[in-house]
A and B are shown apart, each in its own frame.
Chain A
Amino acid sequence: MSFIKKFIEQETVNRRNFLLASAYGLGGVAAAGVFGPGMAQAASNPTVAWSYRNRTNPYWNEIVSGGEAFMDAAGLGKDALTHLINEGSSEKSLADVKALLAKTSGNLALAIDTNDAPNCRPVVEAVAEAGGYVSTIWNKTDDLHPWDFGDNYVSHMTWSDEGPAEQTARILLEAMGGKGGVVHLGGIASNNPAIERLNGLKNALKDYPDVELLAAEPADWDTQKANQVMSAFLTRYGDEITGVHCANDTIAYGVLEALRAEGIDDMPIVSYDGNPQAVGLVDEGKILATVFTNPHWGGGITAALAYHAAIGTFKPSDEPNEHREFYGPTILITPKDAAEFKANYLDNVPTYDWTDFWGPTNGQIMYK
């Protein structure tokens, strides 16, 4: 039966070659518009790419605009940024990265959110094996560390949401007069930030024994879903609800409209993310607090770290661990400082120094 075995082996090799070839082809299509044909790439001229979900979401839109701002500031031009859009698919995320590695022969500086934590390892291993440089944000398993990959896995940044969410919760609970009932509308149930933001509320509630957590339901980061969940909460609890804790701004918009439909316009609400529209609502006093995580800076600095490691501006393995794994910045916005914040961060996007890699960060990541 050895001929069958041989045939299978042959076919496996053929299939692998075919896959590689098609991956190469796809990468070529993706990057063709960026570089044009026949342009040689020196080792000092790496392709810079951002891999993310999509631009529909205002948060990712901000992240990518930061990446583009970095490209402009570095003199590369924002059109030179290669966009790998995974549309929420980890498989596509990994396939796109491999295709681009093949296309660039590993001369790549990659900024990426790998969509889910388990996908981070194969992405990082693929980049390291090809000799590229990668900086990740948000999703990474706890056992995966940049310092285990020498220089190639440059950095990982995430945001700890528990503390800031607790701060907003305290503002909410104070506004409620320390009594009554609060409902929480969360993100997708299994999302890490969704869990942390609810934990923040629960931590704050320990100091407010007279406030009852009436219910916590996932609203999937979605305005329309939040609108419907809030309506149902109003049926179930009615006047018992005296405050609303939202896991992010898009949820808060839906909540505000559900309340508006009932003629309620004085309900204390807090949210998270610091989207421009939410900051406006904080300024008007309709939302009591939101938290800005500066996605623009996050998107720019992640690309900057990978790029500067790739061109040798700094050597990642010479840096201490808190420069390899760190928390991103968080800024609490309340009605008091909303106008000032808006003027400083939203109306004029600040010009960042994209070589100040760690200035605004919040210390090394702690694992529980």
Chain B
Amino acid sequence: MGSVLTRDVLVKWAPLLVLIVLILFFAAMEPRFFSVRNFARIGISSAPALMVAIGVTFIIIMGSIDLSMEGTVSVCAVVFAFAFIAMGGTLASFAWLALPLALLVGAAVGLLNGLVHVKLKIPSFMASLAMGFVGTGFALLLTGGDRIRVEDDLFRGLLTTRWFNFPIMCYVAVAFLLIAWFIQTRTTLGRNFYAVGGGEDLAHASGLNVNKVRILGFTLAGVFYAVGALLAVGRIGIAETATGSNFMFVSITSVVVGGTALWGGIGGVWNTLIGVLIVNVINNGMVVIGLPGYVQDGVLGVLVIAAVVLSTDRKSVTFVK
């Protein structure tokens, strides 16, 4: 046993253990929590957040941070809705082109984000936060404060059509998770993220074009934000400036709770999946067991700290900034 249960193994699997313990806890408190229908509900609330969190995972692995997701999601959602309606308003027409258009818009915003960060040498924290505000403002400019309804039954099938009890949006999210996993493990770019996060100086000295990796990373993140935006619109059928609200907190929390270290080089998209599920299980579970609203935020905060404590190896960290 001793050789199997090393500290490394524990730290690696701690987020999953936390998730299992949480599920068992909520199930013990309220048996109805443990049902396929409820897992589908958790899946629905997790799917858009997972996409956004995967996007920011790549950035955090590089040791940077991206806080532009709220603005990017809003811009993508609004552009998608306008284009979708202008081109016919149903997936059965040319309006399907609005889907790739949204991804392109996400990539463009991400690219701009990366260029501002790298070329103007602004720390990613500040550059992305500012770009997020620009995005929210731009979305507001486009909509004038109105909300755009996307009522096409085919598109809303993301939510309403179910295969094996789970709506299609859950499968779409899993598909993009696998794509992200492929990028992370099987492409040079994915491995370069770890190189930059693990030791930027070393990576630079070995001839890696760190700036290029950073810009590509932000662009890739933008694409995943766009997918998140599409799923968010699919979930409530409305695109508005507020579509991106709350994604910053949920995604960053999820990434960290999942065990991806904020200082870079450690973690990956599977950690993010676990993290997103932990946050959404907590959110769902607290309402399901009937905790009063004002307790919920506090409990979430405590659980986040507990999850990070359990899932990070503090011995390998000499200082925290």
Query: Which A residues have a C-beta under 8 Å from some C-beta of B?
Result: 54-58, 60-61, 189, 215, 217-218, 222-225, 227-229, 231-236, 238, 253-254, 257, 260-263, 277
What 8 A-B pairs have minimum CB-CB distances, sorted nearest first?
Answer: A232-B287, A61-B145, A231-B41, A235-B38, A55-B145, A56-B241, A218-B293, A257-B236
* Distance, CA A233 to CA B287, complexed state (A): 7
> B149 contacts which chain A residues (CB < 8 A)?
277
CB within 8 Å of A: which of B39-89?
Answer: 41, 44-45
Chain B interface helix/strand/loop/mixed: helix
Stretch at the interface among B27-35, B102-110, B203-211: B27-35
Is there contact, CB below 8 Å, between A55 and B144?
A: yes
Shortest CB distance A261–B (Å)? 5
The 8 A CB mask of B138-178 against A (1 = contact, 0 = none) is: 00100011110100000010011000000100000000000
Docked-complex contact B235 and A215, CB < 8 angstroms? no
Find out whether the CB atom of A228 lies under 8 angstroms from the CB atom of B245.
no
Q: Are A234 and B41 in contact (CB under 8 A)?
A: yes
Distance between B278 CB and nearest chain A CB, rounded to angstroms? 15
- 5 new A-B contacts, CB < 8 A, other than A54-B140, A58-B146, A277-B149, are A57-B145, A218-B293, A224-B246, A231-B41, A261-B159
Residues of chain A within 8 A of B32, CB atoms compared: 235-236, 238
Chain A residues whose CB sits within 8 angstroms of the CB of B35 once the complex forms:
235
Residues 231-250 of B, flagged 1 when their CB comes within 8 A of A and 0 if not, give 01001111011110110000
CB closest chain-B residue, reference A228:
B45
- Bound together, the chains give a CA A274 to CA B158 distance in angstroms of 29
Q: A227: shortest Cβ distance to chain B, in Å? A: 6
Please determine whether B44 and A56 come into contact, CB atoms closer than 8 angstroms: no
Contact (Cβ within 8 A) B146 A217: no
Q: B283 an interface residue at 8 Å Cβ cutoff?
A: yes
A234 CB → nearest B CB, Å: 7
B288 interfacial by beta-carbon distance below 8 Å: yes
Decide: A235 and B284 in contact? CB cutoff 8 A. yes
Contacts A56-B145, A261-B160 given; does A224 touch B44 at CB 8 Å: no
Contact B242 A223 (CB under 8 A): yes
Across-interface contacts of A232 in B (CB, < 8 A): 41, 283-285, 287-288
**From B30, B145, B236, contact of A236 by CB (8 A):** B30
Our pick among B136, B235, B287 for the contact of A227 (Cβ within 8 Å) is: B235
Q: Are A224 and B236 in contact (CB under 8 A)?
A: yes
Residues of B within 8 A of A233 (CB): 287
Known interface pairs A228-B284, A235-B288; A261-B44 also in contact (CB < 8 Å): yes
Which residues of chain B are within 8 angstroms of A277 by Cβ–Cβ distance? 147, 149
- Once the chains bind, are B236 and A254 in contact (CB under 8 Å)? yes
Nearest-neighbour CB distance to chain A for B151, whole angstroms, equals 11
Contact residues in A for B38 (Cβ distance below 8 Å)? 235
Residue in B35, B235, B294 with the greatest tally of chain A CB atoms within 10 Å: B235
The reply on B100 being an interface residue by CB < 8 A is no
Cα–Cα, bound, A58→B245 (Å)? 15
B37 within 8 A of A: yes
Residues of A within 8 A of B41 (CB): 231-232, 234-235, 261
Among A189, A227, A236, max chain B CB count under 10 A is at: A236
Residue from A227, A236, A260 within 8 A of B45 (CB atoms): A227
B123 sits at the interface (CB 8 A):
no
B290 interface residue (CB < 8 Å to A): yes
Closest chain B residue to A186, Cβ basis: B293
| A231 in contact with B145 (CB, 8 Å) | no
A-B contact pairs, 16 of them (CB 8 A): A56-B145, A61-B144, A61-B145, A61-B146, A215-B290, A222-B245, A227-B45, A232-B287, A233-B287, A235-B32, A238-B32, A253-B238, A257-B236, A260-B160, A261-B159, A277-B147
